Amino acid sequence: MTAPELPFHIVIVCTGNTCRSPLAAGALVEALGPERARVRVTSAGTGAREGQPATDAAIAVAAGDGVDIRSHRSRRVTPTLVRDADLVLVMERAHLDPVLALGADAARTHVLSDWPAPGEPGLVVSDPFGGSREAYEETWRRIRRHLERVVPAVHEALRARSA
């Protein structure tokens, strides 16, 4: 009898864990399609206050595309969370050092706009916190665009894991 396959664990990190990372986590789960059952997507923040909901604007922007992040509650990124991850995606370069300092594997930790290579490093995912609805919509568009590259790479990692 074979052991059940553990889910491929992706951790998405931003600062406060109320805008970008919950948006990216929700969008990624949706974009994975049927493979979502084999993937655990979590999000956290380098400076998050525990238990905060996603911002109203983030909830509204995601809902506009049928993604429900209303149940999200913020949490601070921890050593256990990043060490146990198969992939860590951070929203900006400033998040790399704190996440690596917690023990994340540098080979599996990437800026969302850069991964997989060559990425689109010029298409930065700015923090919309406190900004206009348009700022949240632009953040959402950029996240979705980056996930168009990420999802096939995750599917490939799942195939390789099953081989």
Q: 33: which residues sit within 8 A by CB, 6+ positions away? A: none
14 is catalytic: yes
Q: What average pLDDT does the chain have?
A: 96
Residue 1: inside a domain: no
Q: Check residue 52 and report its DSSP letter.
A: P
| Residue numbers of the domain that contains 13 | 8-155
Tokens read off for 79: 């050593």
Q: Which CATH number does the domain housing residue 47 bear?
A: 3.40.50.2300
Residue 3 pLDDT > 80: no
Domain count, the chain: 1
Torsion of CA 115, 102, 139, 61, to 10 degrees: 120
Among the listed residues 20, 75, 86, 142, the single catalytic one is: 20
Residue 2: inside a domain: no
Q: What is the pLDDT of residue 1?
A: 45
Residue 145 pLDDT > 50: yes
Among the listed residues 14, 19, 86, 142, the single catalytic one is: 14
Q: Is the pTM of this model over 0.85?
A: yes
Q: What is the pLDDT of residue 4?
A: 57
Q: What is the pLDDT of residues 17-34, one digit of tens each?
A: 999 999 999 999 999 999
Residue 15: inside a domain: yes
Residue 13: inside a domain: yes
Q: What is the pLDDT of residue 149?
A: 97
Residue 35: inside a domain: yes
Residue 97: inside a domain: yes
Angle at CA of residue 81, ends 16 and 130, nearest 5°: 10
Residue 163: inside a domain: no
Residue 129: inside a domain: yes
Among the listed residues 40, 108, 114, 127, the single catalytic one is: 127
56 is catalytic: no
Q: What is the pLDDT of residues 70-103, one digit of tens each?
A: 999 999 999 999 999 999 999 999 999 999 999 9
The torsion region of residue 14 among left (phi > 0), alpha (psi -120 to 50) and beta comes to: beta
